[in-house]
Amino acid sequence: MTTVSVPLTPTQAHDVRQALHAAELRSGLRFALYLGPAVGPRRHFSERLHAALGEEGDAAVLVFVDLRDRALEVVTGPSARLRLTDAQCRVAAVSMAAAFGGGNLVGGLVAGMWLLSDLASRRR
């Protein structure tokens, strides 16, 4: 799942898809991204998106980014949570938010996926 309501150039969209794919290969987890506004409460919406991954959700990491409301959520499934702690997800979120604040959406997403997959692969 890569859902984007923020306009990305074809090159930027390709770079983000490549980062998601590389994160999956590196960690063995499923990575998903949603860029756009939440429908309803942000955390509840993020959890619903994660649940929509179905059976893959157990070992999945969903990153939700709403630039307009300056919101970022990381949702992990039960198996993924064994390899990525809440504290590690916060570190990645802070890293992404810093890049976003500097106007670097794609760089922040790519670096965030790399960091999450790196941290998860250490507990493999």
Domains identified in the chain and CATH numbers: 2-119 (3.10.310.50)
Residue pointed to by tokens 């499934």: 77
Q: If you ran DSSP here, which 8-state letter would residue 77 be given? A: -
Q: What is the pLDDT of residue 70?
A: 87
Q: Which residue has the higher pLDDT, 3 or 89?
A: 89
Q: Using CB atoms within 10 A of its CB, is residue 81 exposed (0-12), middle (13-18) or buried (19+)?
A: middle
The per-residue pLDDT for range 67-81, each reduced to its tens digit, is 888 899 999 999 999
Q: What is the mean pLDDT of the chain?
A: 92
Query: Could you tell me the two tokens for 78?
Result: 């039960």
The CB-side HSE value for 108 (13 A sphere, CA atoms) comes to 22
User: Helix or strand or coil: residue 35?
Assistant: strand
Query: Could you tell me the two tokens for 32?
Result: 């998903």
